[in-house]
């Protein structure tokens, strides 16, 4: 029996427009199971990023219920929730410094003060696994290509060991080879027991297990 990881029920979110408020999310419900890669599509402005922010508990004023591994969101501290449900925004950026410093950036934050960061060997193995074997840990991050930087940004999140990844157009501006490597990374993450919900305008993910379309505030499951 499939075990649900992330579950959302009757999520409502509004946006202020001229003349009042409109529903961006009008009672959206969604389930993502352990081991799944789920594709989310929809027209520009449909509310996909809003949904991701709601699922990451980063959007005030949202109503509805969320649970993770059967545990209601109300029983999980927000910072703990965000360590387990990790959001990678569309324009994830690297900071000035080396590749190593970028990978270890989450461990400089107060929320991970008690966490042990991955050592050089683990970082090296992770880079090698996504085709970045020629990228040294001490390379200046500003010298990375767009595709290399995207993979480092994703690795930075994956190496913090979340359960659920929310990826907002992780293949935006990437060439086909880099996009395929990013898709392979997400598939491996799911195969290891995590789950992935991702948005793509450019390419459908042929590794997806399910696909949903968001339009006019409503979410429906569609055929792959």
pLDDT digits (tens, 9 = 90+) for 99-135: 999 999 999 988 787 889 999 999 999 999 888 999 9
pLDDT of amino acid 113: 79
- State both tokens at 174: 């990437």
Q: Is 21 exposed, middle or buried (0-12, 13-18, 19+ CB in 10 A)?
A: exposed
CATH code of domain 4-222: 3.40.50.300
- pLDDT beyond 70 at 152: yes
Are the C-beta atoms of residues 50 and 26 closer than 8 Å to each other? no
| pLDDT greater than 90 at residue 161 | yes
pLDDT score of 73: 97
Nearest to 99 by CA among 62, 50, 151: 151
Residues 6+ apart with CB under 8 A from 67: 6, 7, 73
> pLDDT confidence of 206, banded at 50, 70, 90?
low
Residue 19 reports pLDDT greater than 80: no
Instruction: Return the pLDDT at 180.
Output: 85
- The answer to whether residue 185 scores a pLDDT higher than 70 is yes
| Helix-helix angle 146-158:120-129, to 10 degrees | 130
> What residue ranges do the domains of the chain occupy?
4-222
Q: 52-102: per-residue pLDDT in tens?
A: 999 999 999 999 999 999 999 999 999 999 999 999 988 778 999 999 999
pLDDT reported for residue 114? 85
Q: Is the dihedral of CA 157, 169, 30, 46 positive or negative?
A: positive
């Amino acid at each position: 029996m499939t075990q649900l990881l992330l579950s959302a029920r009757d999520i409502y979110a509004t946006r202020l427009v001229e003349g009042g408020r409109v529903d961006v999310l009008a009672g959206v419900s969604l389930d993502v199971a352990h081991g799944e890669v789920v594709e989310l599509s929809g027209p520009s402005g449909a509310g996909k990023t809003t949904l991701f922010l709601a699922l990451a508990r980063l959007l005030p004023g949202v109503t509805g219920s969320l649970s993770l591994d059967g545990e209601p969101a109300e029983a999980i501290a927000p910072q703990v929730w965000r360590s387990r449900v990790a959001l990678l925004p569309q324009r994830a950026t690297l900071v000035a410094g080396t590749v190593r410093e970028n990978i270890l950036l989450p461990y400089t934050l107060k929320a991970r003060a008690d966490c042990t960061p991955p050592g050089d060997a683990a970082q090296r193995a992770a880079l090698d696994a996504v085709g970045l074997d020629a990228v040294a840990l001490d390379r200046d991050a500003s010298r990375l290509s767009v595709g290399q930087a995207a993979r480092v940004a994703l690795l930075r999140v994956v190496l913090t060991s979340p359960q659920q990844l929310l990826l907002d157009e992780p293949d935006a501006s990437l060439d086909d080879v880099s996009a395929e490597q990013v898709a392979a990374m997400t598939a491996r993450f799911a195969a290891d027991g995590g789950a992935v919900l991702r948005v793509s305008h450019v390419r459908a993910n042929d590794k997806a297990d399910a696909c949903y379309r968001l339009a006019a505030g409503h979410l429906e499951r569609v055929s792959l």
